[in-house]
Structure 1
């Protein structure tokens, strides 16, 4: 197997993930029909997964010039397509060769969905020609290549005489009619959507107990492909991809479903906007999503796929926003915003929103401009108030809500380089028609989905994160809001301020200090934390000091161990102290190194020179310890 640079491998991996069904379909077409449909399905998945090259150093003679960039390295997708073809062609003379490594399927046979008479005739015609001819047909009709481009790919894949293969493919095309492209994109040739049937049940019963075998088969079978089920009365020639691009098939939730469902998230949003019935606009938006034209600006929140739709999505909005035609879809896992300015190319914005709820599914950013944005609110939101987190005692400003759920313009938070003199947020209140009637706080961090802000007070036995609505919560966020700038564009779902400890300061240093763990959870799952030390301040919005950070951690969540923070603090006398505090669960704190001290309980304050090295850790009841976080 040839080796590539790390960048080449990363591009190839991205191409496989993005175009996996397309590559598997091509491999399935080229593999010998004599293998049988079950083995072809498994082999097609296995060889595409094997098409990922290895990273390494390419050997060459010392002093030799680097090889020119050839067609096979033109892009990650072209590389993995070529490798897929090579692997599939290798089965032509040895169809019984061992299958590549794939998930094991016990007791089940996997078959693509059966087609009609036209699909059957094409499959029989393809079975009668060698693999290079099937490869040529696939490059024409599945990949959309012209004859010259297909010839180059065939030659690079090791086909001895690409011209002969293409002439035979032309004869097959003429014999089977002009509909070969549509038929090859049908379920008959789709190894990613399969049906299952059991193998010999009596023989299997003799070997293993039926319950264990069946459970293993189902688990392994679903790892290979989605199992197709139910009656399908749609035309056989219409592919899943074509159905996903049909505006008539868009999912539309009834207007009042949100008030009578246990699933209060984006699936409960009805379609809104004056153009919600404009099939031409909706079809255009779906086509751009599936195949973005040159110049389309595509942005995605961290960890969000930009793959085309694989089933009809749900329509949430279609209408004119500030002279820009906007369409928003929800495909179950993602929000997709299509924007069509009158004088420029369209834009697509993707955001992951799986497992949203009443709060994280309460709004989305429908429009954005220079220093402002608008929300489209969930149908269960009854009113919205604009707030400045840096002015916790100031009253909020009620926002006008249009009949279609679009808000007035709201200022956007400051960027990384500017002055953090204000931090806009919005308080939303859910309708009394929902039993869980409550107010919740959202702010914008540059993604399509706003971020839910929560708060947990420093009270013994306090529950987990709650809504940041009362005065203590808003005052805590006034001192933490500007730290949110570091999270911009990171795909953050929610951020919680946990005031985990309060500490009296040495030398009668005034009111006590508060230790806060600020935890940001992403839609992907991993979270990051920042521990802040917040001493008494002259102004409500004076920021706290960062005492420690950690990424990809469960700390400060219901699933994490206790946390410890430490800072150096100077009293009014000029004397320096080492201060440390642990969250509930910390029974004592120890300091070693240049400073040696210990204390029972969750806080510690000892004199310490400003630059003296020290290691701080907290003692746990089970005998373990937790090291203090570092900035």
Structure 2
């Protein structure tokens, strides 16, 4: 009986630890910078960096309990904080307040949703030091998450808590669905080391003065009369009402000095028309501002506001791998004008092209499109799509372009048709980007400048893709009769890489193979589409028999280096039926392939870079090739 009582007492759960003010205060003081960092990361990014700093400090400083309190056994912390219920308790209160600050207001606002009375700094703006491109990208990804999802990401990355413990902490902090928050956090790249960056350190701050002229105006207004106070109140409401209507943009909920500067149309970067003539490079930063509406501040204001905070009815699109957040600083104005039935603004921030378009008669149906263009130069920075209407496309060309023409890539012998350019804008030309049905033509843009002729294709994105020809180590622009004839049978394959964020497409013949029935030689060509983000390239191995108008796609590779500069090799095979009704496996590798072998449903091998083996209809085989340096390669699939 006695032993049974002992067992029952042993199995009973231990009481929750008690945390008093002194213990909580000790944990808060010891880990204050970490707690402030947690609050700063979880608070809504829409507050702006300066306001988030003050709110984070206020939340942590209000996290102390009023007296002794009992706290549940919740997951704690990494090394240095293990087993410290004081830290776990204070962190829980910080998380709860930060989540409340970002929650929807129902009735009277909660304390965390009100601007903090303390701490407060007069005459200075405080904000963390700026990080690099990786920190900026992570900040934008986190800004897309809900408060609980941001908290889950921080607890996993900064606190190193396992998922089960994260769910417990979120539930204690008042999150409605901790499991959903964890799933959302998992979609953000796990760049946890960036959470310790100075970008998110709300204790290591930079100080800048507030608007000195405005402060002087406010002082005079306060001394003058109550009527002048209303004027000061209107000034404080900037940028929303002070800058005028923002059209299709979402409402402004908080002020951020850096964001205000980036969205001020008066601070847009404008390049002089002749700057490019003496520049050391030819890229988008050398484009002058053009268009009949470059002086329309209302239009420019709306475009910038929609870029920063697109409203619910704005159609936003972007090429894969392109961030859609607002500009980090004042962008460069490339164009503002009327295009067909729309007003269009094109902006450039050094990494992206953003195009804002609205109808002539209002802002309903406004659209915002993004394209990544980092590192673009020469032909890659020679044209931007202004608009597409009724199957046609109109381009804005670089100031160094001297001539434009339209040609059908599938009809190289038909020549090019001159395309008029007025103020840098081309006449409309047929676009293959939105066409459906059989592929019978593929119209491309041909541009001429002092470096030569370049051919670009509209693939449904803001920036047309550059077309090149030649082996990966010797790519060159598509120009000249021979190169155009080589490209013609493979023009329709460009349809397979539409809207993938394509930077350039190269076509190169990697083998010729005699057909076993004596009907001539077949050509093997690899077309490889490179993307602006580096990853996600697509390579197509195509096979064309003598007299064939089109190349048949025999194999493809997504995301790998095959057929590109890093791996300038190819190996592919196809089942082919001769005129006599016999089936063969035809396989070919690039010219540095010394042997080819087939296994599986078809077996055979041959020295050299081509293989011909009798086969049965529907048979499948695995291909393997050996290169001159002894390395083995597999066939594209």
Which residue of structure 2 lines up, in the alignment, with residue 384 of structure 1? 404
Q: Distance in 2 between matches of 1:248 and 1:627?
A: 57
Which residue of structure 2 lines up, in the alignment, with residue 358 of structure 1? 378
Which residue of structure 1 lines up, in the alignment, with residue 162 of structure 2? none
Structure-2 change in CA distance of 1:547 and 1:43 (3 Å): farther
**Does residue 1:546 correspond to 2:553, yes or no?**
yes
Structure-2 change in CA distance of 1:394 and 1:222 (3 Å): farther
Which is further off, 609-618 or 406-415?
A: 609-618
Structure-2 change in CA distance of 1:509 and 1:611 (3 Å): same
**1:475-624 aligned within 5 A:** 475-510=485-520, 512-526=521-535, 527-538=537-548, 542-560=549-567, 562-624=569-631
Paired residue secondary structure (1:345): coil
1:335 to 343, 353, 357: 353
Which residue of structure 2 lines up, in the alignment, with residue 369 of structure 1? 389
**Does residue 1:148 correspond to 2:166, yes or no?**
no
Structure-2 change in CA distance of 1:235 and 1:37 (3 Å): farther
**Does residue 1:445 correspond to 2:459, yes or no?**
yes
Q: Distance in 1 between matches of 2:95 and 2:583?
A: 78
Q: Distance in 2 between matches of 1:313 and 1:394?
A: 42
Does the 8 Å contact 2:402/2:448 carry over to 1? yes
Alpha-carbon displacement from aligned partner over 1:4-48 (angstroms, at most 9, x marks no partner):
xxxxxxxxxxxxxxxxxxxxxxxxxxxx9x9799964x6555567
Paired residue secondary structure (1:248): helix
Structure-2 change in CA distance of 1:619 and 1:452 (3 Å): same
Which is further off, 256-265 or 391-400?
A: 256-265
Q: Distance in 2 between matches of 1:521 and 1:365?
A: 19
Q: Distance in 2 between matches of 1:624 and 1:525?
A: 25
Structure-2 change in CA distance of 1:38 and 1:252 (3 Å): farther
Q: Distance in 2 between matches of 1:503 and 1:223?
A: 58
Structure-2 change in CA distance of 1:579 and 1:292 (3 Å): same
Which residue of structure 2 lines up, in the alignment, with residue 159 of structure 1? none
**Does residue 1:190 correspond to 2:204, yes or no?**
no
Structure-2 change in CA distance of 1:379 and 1:555 (3 Å): same
1:251 to 269, 280, 293: 269
Q: CA deviation at 1:192?
A: 5.4
Paired residue secondary structure (1:537): coil
Q: Distance in 1 between matches of 2:551 and 2:412?
A: 15
Does the 8 Å contact 1:464/1:558 carry over to 2? no
Alpha-carbon displacement from aligned partner over 1:211-241 (angstroms, at most 9, x marks no partner):
xxxxxx9998577689999999976987100
Q: CA deviation at 1:362?
A: 0.5
Structure-2 change in CA distance of 1:543 and 1:224 (3 Å): farther
Q: Distance in 2 between matches of 1:317 and 1:332?
A: 15
Which is further off, 522-531 or 86-95?
A: 86-95
Structure-2 change in CA distance of 1:568 and 1:146 (3 Å): closer
Q: CA deviation at 1:381?
A: 0.8
Q: Distance in 2 between matches of 1:322 and 1:300?
A: 22
Paired residue secondary structure (2:381): coil
Q: Distance in 2 between matches of 1:394 and 1:171?
A: 72
Paired residue secondary structure (1:525): coil
Paired residue secondary structure (1:577): strand
Structure-2 change in CA distance of 1:455 and 1:187 (3 Å): farther
Does the 8 Å contact 2:317/2:369 carry over to 1? yes
TM-score by length of 1: 0.67
Alpha-carbon displacement from aligned partner over 1:134-160 (angstroms, at most 9, x marks no partner):
969x94xxx7x8853674xx5xxxxxx
Q: CA deviation at 1:489?
A: 1.4
**1:295-310 aligned within 5 A:** 295-310=313-328
Structure-2 change in CA distance of 1:625 and 1:258 (3 Å): same
Structure-2 change in CA distance of 1:320 and 1:561 (3 Å): closer
Structure-2 change in CA distance of 1:49 and 1:242 (3 Å): closer
Q: CA deviation at 1:471?
A: 2.2
Which residue of structure 1 lines up, in the alignment, with residue 281 of structure 2? 263
Structure-2 change in CA distance of 1:348 and 1:194 (3 Å): closer
Alpha-carbon displacement from aligned partner over 1:550-605 (angstroms, at most 9, x marks no partner):
11111111102522010112222222221111113311111223433221111122
Q: Distance in 2 between matches of 1:272 and 1:48?
A: 41
Paired residue secondary structure (2:459): coil
Paired residue secondary structure (1:480): helix
Q: CA deviation at 1:618?
A: 0.5
Structure-2 change in CA distance of 1:297 and 1:170 (3 Å): closer
**Does residue 1:399 correspond to 2:408, yes or no?**
no
Structure-2 change in CA distance of 1:300 and 1:149 (3 Å): farther
Q: Distance in 2 between matches of 1:38 and 1:255?
A: 55
Gaps of at least 5 residues in structure 1 are 1-31, 52-74, 103-129, 155-161, 196-216
Paired residue secondary structure (2:585): strand
Gaps of at least 5 residues in structure 2 are 1-24, 66-74, 80-92, 133-192, 215-255
Q: CA deviation at 1:265?
A: 1.0
Q: CA deviation at 1:477?
A: 2.2
Paired residue secondary structure (2:260): helix
Paired residue secondary structure (1:190): strand
Paired residue secondary structure (1:360): helix
Q: Distance in 2 between matches of 1:597 and 1:236?
A: 84
The Cα RMSD (Å) is 4.3
Higher radius of gyration, 1 or 2: 2
Q: Distance in 2 between matches of 1:406 and 1:38?
A: 59
Q: Distance in 1 between matches of 2:196 and 2:259?
A: 25
Structure-2 change in CA distance of 1:609 and 1:228 (3 Å): farther
Q: Distance in 1 between matches of 2:201 and 2:94?
A: 24
Which residue of structure 2 lines up, in the alignment, with residue 63 of structure 1? none
Q: What is the aligned residue count?
A: 481
Q: CA deviation at 1:428?
A: 0.5
Q: Distance in 2 between matches of 1:414 and 1:452?
A: 14
Which residue of structure 1 lines up, in the alignment, with residue 446 of structure 2? 427
